[in-house]
Amino acid sequence: MLRFLLLFSRQGKLRLQKWFTPVTEREKKKVIREMTLMVLARPPRSCNFLHWRDLKIVYKRYASLYFCCGLEDQDNELLTLEVLHRYVELLDKYFGNVCELDIIFNFEKAYFILDEFLMGGEILETSKTAVGIAMEEAETLQEVTPPPPPPPLTHTHGHLSLTHLPKYVNMFSVLFTDNGGVYE
Amino acid sequence: MPAVSKGDGMRGLAVFISDIRNCKSKEAEIKRINKELANIRSKFKGDKALDGYSKKKYVCKLLFIFLLGHDIDFGHMEAVNLLSSNKYTEKQIGYLFISVLVNSNSELIRLINNAIKNDLSSRNPTFMCLALHCIANVGSREMAEAFAGEIPRILVAGDTMDSVKQSAALCLLRLYKASPDLVLMGEWTSRVVHLLNDQHMGVVTAAISLITCLSSKNPDEFKTCVSLAVSRLSRIVSSASTDLQDYTYYFVPAPWLSCKLLRLLQCYPPPEDGAVKGRLVECLETILNKAQEPPKSKKVQHSNAKNAILFEAISLIIHYDSEPNLLVRACNQLGQFLQHRETNLRYLALESMCTLASSEFSHEAVKTHIETVINALKTERDVSVRQRAADLLYAMCDRSNAKQIVAEMLSYLETADYSIREEMVLKVAILAEKYAVDYSWYVDTILNLIRIAGDYVSEEVWYRVIQIVINRDDVQGYAAKTVFEALQAPACHENMVKVGGYILGEFGNLIAGDPRSSPLVQFNLLHSKFHLCSVPTRALLLSAYIKFINLFPETKATIQEVLRSDSQIRNSDVELQQRAVEYLKLSSIASTDVLATVLEEMPPFPERESSILAKLKKKKGPGAVSVELEDGKERGELNGGGDRGGDAAIAASNASTPSPSADLLGLRSTAPASGATPSAGSLLVDVFSEAGPSATSAGVNDDGFLRFVCKNNGVLFENQLLQIGIKSEYRQNLGRMYLFYGNKTSVQFVSFNTTVSCPGELFRSTKTVEPLVEGGAQVQQVINIECLTDFIDAPLLNIKFRYGGALQNISLKLPVTINKFFQPTEMAAADFFQRWKQLSQPQQEAQKIFKASHGMDTEVLKAKLLGLGTALLENVDPNPENYVCAGVIQTKAQQVGCLLRLEPNAQAQMYRLTLRSSKDTVSQRVCDLLAEQF
């Protein structure tokens, strides 16, 4: 089973953290620090697996984001890489061309999608369609009682327009251009 | 812009997040957050009732702030309110907040559980799933108590929706892992196993995680799952790549389920039923065959998924370890991967082959890949891959290839990454010893090791080479010659000087015949290194010098002159000075006979498991091995802890108490005293765990110890590095002590190890502590104590660890005193005096008159007497100023009744303390202990 899943940026900013076993806040901070230090220090094209304490670490970089998880000794590293990939696909399906900013501004959605996919560190549903349906059902449920529509974001902060983000590469456009180590 | 926020965007949240992102500094961020927190607090406190949307928005903001790493101490109630909203997104945010910010507040847990209960019984599948997710995320015991009974019912009910079944299975798994005692599967077992047959692939995928966990804990109850798993696997393996629709992942049918099925089968031995076994072997063969087929897609996802199944199948084959044909095929497949262009596959192949190397069927097949693995060690760019290659070389090593592998590892060491050097050194040392046919090769290897990676050669390694040289007389001459040559290098590592000093001191005579290594040449060579070395090494060299005087009388004058020089005899280091003085005297006073007896050659060391191996095992993680090791140490403590066996002959000549580094050769208690008959007990002493010069050592803590006679909790010990707190409780003749070791530094303590040695009257069991204590961390150790009979000596706690390379050694008396086993006894005055008179024999009474060292405050006195464990009896003594107590000391062997009278004299600031008990030793001991308290 997975023990934790972390998403952090190349600058080491944490974007998402999911802990599948009880961990103290202090220990969490420590793991986060060690993971970011260790993973960000890896040269490009290194292998995606590491040993750390009694855990196996599997990480992969998608555009500007690192996806990193800790798993137990008997878990399958290759398949875990595909767990990460499937999660990226699900994010992409929901957001449409997902990028790091989507996850920053809609962090709660990123957690919800993860919940539809994993539970207690185990795979809950591998089918993209099934997870998609679950998310859509949720959307439909909320549309019955729509909240006040939010005004367009662009007026609030002229300089932070969500539409102009050249520095954030879309994860998937990078992802589908090659067949392996090129996300580095 | 991505198609973000389909209809429920919370504008306020987005604005807040972008504000935070725009903050130029940490201070600005904190300021913005505090402003927001104040705003939210006022909204929550305001009298205007918030609508669901606002509540959701603010709770979500709090969650964001918390995830940024700030503390959140309010909003829990609002989140709980959201749980009962009938709007999905509000409920969802409420659950998310609860899942992330678990609060052990019992009031809240009850409310949360209520909300969950409502959602579970709502029959609305999305609400049910949310509730199950929350239980799985929190997974607390309270939740297990509330829902462990309900969830299996949901899981197996016929009308439960598939998506809910999936959530229920994994939720149950989470609860089972957290509180296995609360999840009772009994009646559900067979229905749960049959979920393997469910039509819905998603349900099977989720359920199999649960079944695997339950099977590994109760294999017998779940063994029917084997045949079901085999047939399910067979159906997937033989299906076409599109049969399973959504569950086909990049042209690979159901990779997750396949891997889980193969993992489940690893909980069991090979199937006994021939048909089932045949079908399984067929599956495994198909999987191996598929690896040779051309890929159906060039995407890495396709090959990853396919190979994930392949590796899992190989794991199963290795687990069965019974099908030579499959094992060899697996090995060949891994051999192919060793040269694959994907780094990940090379890494996994190396890792997998390590386990394969230990199977007798495939060991030879693994060995054929030696050149590839050596090449990987030399050329892989990634250190984690090189590490796996080194592991595999170690695993595949046997007598036939040991020389080659050791040579390769040695040459790799010259350039190896710092992070893995120490482990490599241990591995080389172990292989060299294990497969040494001729010991000159062994000596060469270890000396090379010191030359190449001297800094990483731990004490265990150089102790071990000395031990082996001493035990094997066929190699002693060669060893002397080799170290002599090695020492001639202009820059040689201090560890080399240590080995050289020891070996020449013992066996220098074997090469003294050659004029190029005459005694004086040897001495001058050693002495030329002296000024470069640390104190412990210098101490060792001084001992080598006195041995030289014995071996080669012609060096006596030269050496005496050296010892007499101011830099030795007036050395500022007490230990060195003492050695110089004593050796000088020994060499001038003692007759040659006495000298020869004192400095006789060291006797052979007892054979036992290599402590290097033990160290490696320990490094590789805790397990059965470290327990074994612990046992060994405890035996050591019991039998030989007190007396110093090793060098006793020399130590005996040291009239004064030796200081921590006084063990002359860094090998204290390593060998039985020369000349003396080794006692059977001391043979069990673990040489290395007790050995080694220690950097610091605290004396035994009499003060700290006495502070705990009348109390059970507090700080037992503290220095700049370490704080030891103590909590203890006693009932009858049993006690339990919790020790808390706090690392006060920011650097981790390694090889942290504690031993407790008890006097025979006490029995104790100890759980070992983890060998690593992180900086700032606190670890706990529990000691159970049983008092067998009355006792005087306290248990000794010895703590050893390395802090920044220096060995720290602390010995403490644990505050276990006889009075801890007191049971208070209430009695009336008449009763008391009757018993007092019965205990009238002179030896039953102990009395002390002593001066008050603290104030004579009544309340303090009473508290102390109660802390002693006795009952404080009122209205017994005719003089109200006096105190009278009674209690029974509970030991396993007997109960000892005990009466006490304390008479303060405020004017003279004196006390008279009288103790009477049915056992003289008890009276005396309690009297002694208590007299120190006032």
Contact B432, B441 (CB under 8 A): yes
pLDDT average, residue stretch B8-17: 83
- Interface check for A179 against chain B (CB to CB < 8 A): the answer is yes
pLDDT for B104: 57
Mutate to test the interface with A, among B170, B201, B208, B211 (most CBs of A within 10 A): B170
Secondary element (H or E) of residue B852: none
Report the residue of chain A nearest B12, measured CA to CA.
Answer: A150
Lowest mean pLDDT among A157-161, B32-36, B60-64, B560-564: A157-161
Q: Could you give the angle at which helices B125-138 and A128-143 cross, rounded to 10 degrees?
A: 110
Cβ–Cβ contacts within 10 Å for residue B868, how many?
24
Residue B688 tokens read as 């290395």
Q: Model confidence over B375-402: pLDDT tens digits? A: 999 888 888 899 899 999 999 999 999 9
Q: Is B787 helix (H, G, I), strand (E, B) or coil?
A: strand
Query: Could you give the CA distance from residue B666 to residue A180 in angstroms, rounded to a whole number?
Result: 55
Contact B96 A111 (CB under 8 A): yes
Contact A1 B206 (CB under 8 A): no
Contact A179 B171 (CB under 8 A): no
Mutate to test the interface with B, among A50, A125, A129 (most CBs of B within 10 A): A125
Contact A24, A92 (CB under 8 A): no
Report the residue of chain A nearest B209, measured CA to CA.
Answer: A122
Contact B4 A179 (CB under 8 A): no
Contact B45, B126 (CB under 8 A): no
Query: What phi and psi, each to the nearest 5 degrees, are found at residue B327?
Result: -60, -45
Query: Could you give the CA distance from residue B659 to residue B654 in angstroms, rounded to a whole number?
Result: 11
Nearest to B348 by CA among A75, A44, A121: A75
Mutate to test the interface with A, among B5, B8, B306 (most CBs of A within 10 A): B8
CA distance readout (Å), A79 to B245, B255, B709:
19, 8, 59
- Interface check for A120 against chain B (CB to CB < 8 A): the answer is yes
- Interface check for A41 against chain B (CB to CB < 8 A): the answer is no
Give the type of residue at B524.
N
Write a three-state SS string for B598-643. HCCCCCCCCCCCCHHHHHHHHHCCCCHHHHHHHHHHHHHHHHHCCC
Q: Model confidence over B19-60: pLDDT tens digits? A: 999 999 999 999 999 999 999 999 888 877 888 888 899 999
- Interface check for A168 against chain B (CB to CB < 8 A): the answer is no
Q: Per the annotation, does B710 bind a ligand?
A: no
**Residue B209's pLDDT band (cuts 50, 70, 90):** very high
- Interface check for A137 against chain B (CB to CB < 8 A): the answer is yes
Nearest to B706 by CA among B819, B783, B798, B789: B819
**Min Cα–Cα distance to chain A from B224, Å:** 23
How buried is B6 (Cβ within 10 angstroms: 0-12 exposed, 13-18 middle, 19+ buried)? middle
Report the residue of chain B nearest A119, measured CA to CA.
Answer: B170
- Interface check for A98 against chain B (CB to CB < 8 A): the answer is yes
Nearest to B347 by CA among B314, B311, B313, B320: B311
- Interface check for A106 against chain B (CB to CB < 8 A): the answer is yes
Report the residue of chain A nearest B18, measured CA to CA.
Answer: A160
Contact A46 B11 (CB under 8 A): no
A-B contacts at Cβ under 8 angstroms? 206
Nearest to A73 by CA among A120, A3, A154, A11: A3
Give residues with Cβ within 8 angstroms of B809, minimum separation 6: B660, B694, B695, B696, B697, B798, B799, B800
- Strand B696-698 and strand B806-813: the pairing is parallel
Cα B272-B278-B279 angle, rounded to 5 deg: 110
Q: Per the annotation, does B53 bind a ligand?
A: yes
Q: Per the annotation, does B11 bind a ligand?
A: yes
Contact residues on chain A for B252, CB-CB shorter than 8 A: none
Q: Per the annotation, does B31 bind a ligand?
A: no
pLDDT for B922: 87
Contact B174 A120 (CB under 8 A): yes
Give the long-range contacts of residues B214-222, CB within 8 A, separation 24 or more. B214/B176, B214/B185, B214/B189, B215/B264, B215/B267, B215/B268, B216/B267, B217/B180, B218/B185, B219/B267, B219/B268, B221/B185, B221/B189, B222/B189, B222/B193
Contact B344 A123 (CB under 8 A): no
pLDDT for B259: 96
How buried is A146 (Cβ within 10 angstroms: 0-12 exposed, 13-18 middle, 19+ buried)? exposed
Cβ–Cβ contacts within 10 Å for residue B360, how many?
9
Q: Tokens 């520095």 belong to which residue?
A: A167
Q: Model confidence over B839-869: pLDDT tens digits? A: 888 888 888 888 888 778 888 888 888 888 8
- Interface check for A166 against chain B (CB to CB < 8 A): the answer is no
Residue B239 scores a pLDDT above 50 = yes
Query: Could you give the CA distance from residue A99 to residue B97 in angstroms, rounded to a whole number?
Result: 24
- Strand B722-731 and strand B714-718: the pairing is antiparallel
Q: Tokens 């060098």 belong to which residue?
A: B647
Choose among A14, A125, A143: nearest Cβ to B166: A125
Q: Model confidence over A6-63: pLDDT tens digits? A: 999 999 999 999 999 888 888 999 999 999 999 999 988 899 999 998 899 999 999 8
Choose among B15, B22, B256: nearest Cβ to A123: B256
**Residue B241's pLDDT band (cuts 50, 70, 90):** low
**Min Cα–Cα distance to chain A from B475, Å:** 40
Residue B425 tokens read as 């050194």
Q: Per the annotation, does B60 bind a ligand?
A: yes
**Min Cα–Cα distance to chain A from B392, Å:** 15
Contact A74 B263 (CB under 8 A): yes
Contact residues on chain B for A78, CB-CB shorter than 8 A: 304-305, 307-308, 311, 344, 348
Contact A95 B3 (CB under 8 A): yes
Mutate to test the interface with A, among B300, B383, B746 (most CBs of A within 10 A): B300
CA distance readout (Å), A56 to A68, B307, B341, B602:
11, 18, 22, 47
pLDDT for B753: 84
Secondary element (H or E) of residue B649: helix B648-653
DSSP annotation of B359 reads: S
Nearest to B708 by CA among B722, B685, B723, B725: B725
Distance of CA B149 to the CA centre of its chain: 36
Secondary element (H or E) of residue A89: helix A77-95
Contact residues on chain B for A86, CB-CB shorter than 8 A: 249
Spell out a b/e string for B491-513, using b for 16 or more CB atoms within 10 Å of the CB, else e.
ebbbbbbbbbbbbbbbbbbbbbe
Query: Could you give the CA distance from residue A10 to residue A61 in angstroms, rounded to a whole number?
Result: 9
Lowest mean pLDDT among B129-133, B199-203, B801-805: B801-805
Contact B765, B748 (CB under 8 A): no
Contact A122 B312 (CB under 8 A): no
Give the long-range contacts of residues B679-682, CB within 8 A, separation 24 or more. B681/B639, B681/B640, B682/B639, B682/B640, B682/B643, B682/B645
Contact A77 B69 (CB under 8 A): no
- Interface check for A153 against chain B (CB to CB < 8 A): the answer is yes
3-state helix, strand, coil in chain A (%, to 5): 45, 20, 35
Give the type of residue at B704.
G
Query: Could you give the CA distance from residue A93 to residue B246 in angstroms, rounded to a whole number?
Result: 15
pLDDT for B620: 59
Q: Model confidence over B676-698: pLDDT tens digits? A: 333 333 222 233 333 333 333 44
Write a three-state SS string for B434-498. HCCCCHHHHHHHHHHHHHHHHHHCCHHHHHHHHHHHHHCHHHHHHHHHHHHHHHCCCCCCHHHHH
**Exposure of A115 in the CB half-sphere (CA atoms within 13 A):** 26
**Min Cα–Cα distance to chain A from B334, Å:** 15
What ipTM was reported for this prediction?
A: 0.82
Query: Could you give the CA distance from residue A171 to residue A91 in angstroms, rounded to a whole number?
Result: 10
B363, B366, B368, B373: CA torsion to nearest 10: -140
Cβ–Cβ contacts within 10 Å for residue B489, how many?
10
Contact B247 A97 (CB under 8 A): no
pLDDT for B610: 67
Contact B205, A126 (CB under 8 A): yes
Give the long-range contacts of residues B209-212, CB within 8 A, separation 24 or more. B209/A1, B209/A122, B209/A123, B209/B169, B209/B170, B209/B173, B209/B260, B210/B169, B210/B170, B210/B172, B210/B173, B210/B176, B211/B264, B212/B260, B212/B263, B212/B264, B212/B267
Contact A122 B170 (CB under 8 A): yes
**Min Cα–Cα distance to chain A from B245, Å:** 9
Query: What phi and psi, each to the nearest 5 degrees, are found at residue A17?
Result: -135, 130
pLDDT for B747: 81
- Interface check for A173 against chain B (CB to CB < 8 A): the answer is no
Choose among A45, A142, A162: nearest Cβ to B88: A142
Report the residue of chain A nearest B213, measured CA to CA.
Answer: A1
Q: Model confidence over B104-148: pLDDT tens digits? A: 556 788 889 999 999 999 888 889 999 999 999 888 888 899 999
Query: Could you give the CA distance from residue B790 to residue B780 in angstroms, rounded to a whole number?
Result: 28
Please indicate whether residue A66 or residue B751 has the higher confidence score (pLDDT).
Answer: A66
pLDDT for B228: 95
Q: Rank A76-90, A139-153, B49-63, B777-791 by mean pLDDT and report only the highest.
A: A76-90
Residue B41 tokens read as 């607090």
Contact residues on chain B for A129, CB-CB shorter than 8 A: 246
Q: Per the annotation, does B61 bind a ligand?
A: yes
Contact A71, A122 (CB under 8 A): no
Mutate to test the interface with A, among B382, B391, B392, B770 (most CBs of A within 10 A): B382
Contact residues on chain A for B63, CB-CB shorter than 8 A: 108
Query: How high is the mean pLDDT of chain B?
Result: 83
Residue B600 tokens read as 């006789």
Spell out a b/e string for B681-711, using b for 16 or more CB atoms within 10 Å of the CB, else e.
ebebbbbbbbbbbbbebeeebeebbebbbbe
Report the residue of chain A nearest B8, measured CA to CA.
Answer: A147
Contact residues on chain B for A127, CB-CB shorter than 8 A: 201-202, 246-247
